[in-house]
Amino acid sequence: MPIHPVEPVGPAGPAGRAPAPAVPAPARAARPAPAPHEPLPDGADLLTATGLRKSFGPTTALDGASLSVAPGELLAVMGASGSGKSTLLHCLAGITRPDGGTVSYRGQDLAGLSDSRRSALRRSEFGFLFQFGQLVPELSCLENVALPLRLAGLRRRRAEDQAWEWLERLEVADAAAKRPGEMSGGQGQRVAVARALVTGPRVVFADEPTGSLDSLNGERVLQLLRRAAKDSAAAVVLVTHEPRVAAYADREVVVRDGRTRDLGAGR
Ligand SMILES: Nc1ncnc2c1ncn2[C@@H]1O[C@H](COP(=O)(O)OP(=O)(O)OP(=O)(O)O)[C@@H](O)[C@H]1O
Ligand SMILES: [Mg+2]
């Protein structure tokens, strides 16, 4: 599911550090860049889910799932296939509306927000990372990472400068001009991590982000994700069924038959 709305942002020209060709400003009114985050009161949780229930027809996906994540924390959500991990992640991110229970972000109940307010929240405060990266195939890596900033109203040059910094941080700047189809899976996932973090989200939702990679590439992506998220004090909710991946987390929660159990500290 594409999370960031995909809009053309000008021709997919060659990316790199050569001066970007002048592109007309986006047709619609530019939104201001995200405001700096307000500090949370000491000890307050960033995101809390309580008693979540969700069914799809006769299938119960969530049956009273609860969890919370603190600022800067990397939380692993483990569990067997079909246990409800992705459904839980989608409810936490305000993508899926639960049948019961509450999700509260910075003390605000997501159910109380209008659809447009919830989408704005997803755009400005949340970052997303999926198993197959879901980069836009027609855009270069640099343009893919710059895209969320362009959608937030930044001019092309500024957006691409910031995108470039993130590609460097994720050690994949040499692939900036390539399109996603021209890269390895590991490179693609590093670009996807850069895109998830470029807007300075408070929470990154990652669903099996290394599921398509071999263990060496997977570990590298996890190390870079962990370091980048810690550097920018972003919380990460990392869904995985691999204990090896969960070892990168500060804390682990297991989902079983739609219910959660906190296993405490990870590494
Ligand atoms: N959109 C949907 N329509 C119908 N059933 C669904 C839907 N989404 C999830 N389910 C069902 O809900 C249950 C939980 O699914 P979910 O995708 O959350 O599991 P998961 O733990 O993420 O599994 P996996 O590790 O395989 O990704 C499963 O039985 C699944 O078939
Ligand atoms: Mg899943």
Segment 83-138, tens digit of pLDDT: 999 999 999 999 999 999 999 999 999 999 999 999 989 988 999 998 877 899 99
Reported as a single tens digit per residue, the pLDDT across 179-191 is 999 999 999 999 9
Confirm or reject: Cβ of 61 under 6 Å from ligand 1.
yes
The pLDDT of residue 212 is 86
Ligand 2 centroid, distance to 90 Cα (angstroms): 10
The pair of three-digit structure tokens given for residue 160, joined into one six-digit string? 């691409």
Confirm or reject: Cβ of 79 under 6 Å from ligand 1.
yes
pTM for the whole structure: 0.84
Ligand 2 centroid, distance to 191 Cα (angstroms): 21
Ligand 1 centroid, distance to 52 Cα (angstroms): 15
Domains of the chain: 47-265 (3.40.50.300)
The pair of three-digit structure tokens given for residue 119, joined into one six-digit string? 């989408």
The pLDDT of residue 266 is 57
Ligand 2 centroid, distance to 219 Cα (angstroms): 20
Select from 137, 151, 127 the least CA-distant residue to 228.
Answer: 127
Contacts of 10 (CB under 8 A, 6+ apart): 23, 24, 156
3-state SS assignment for residue 67: strand
Which protein residue has the closest C-alpha to ligand 1 atom 3?
56
The angle formed by the CA atoms of residues 159, 164 and 170, to the nearest 5 degrees, is 130
What's the DSSP call for residue 96?
S
The pLDDT of residue 146 is 97
3-state SS assignment for residue 57: coil
Spatial distance between the Cα atoms of 61 and 195, rounded to a whole number of angstroms:
29
In the structure, what pLDDT confidence band is assigned to residue 41 with cuts at 50, 70 and 90? low
Confirm or reject: Cβ of 229 under 6 Å from ligand 1.
no
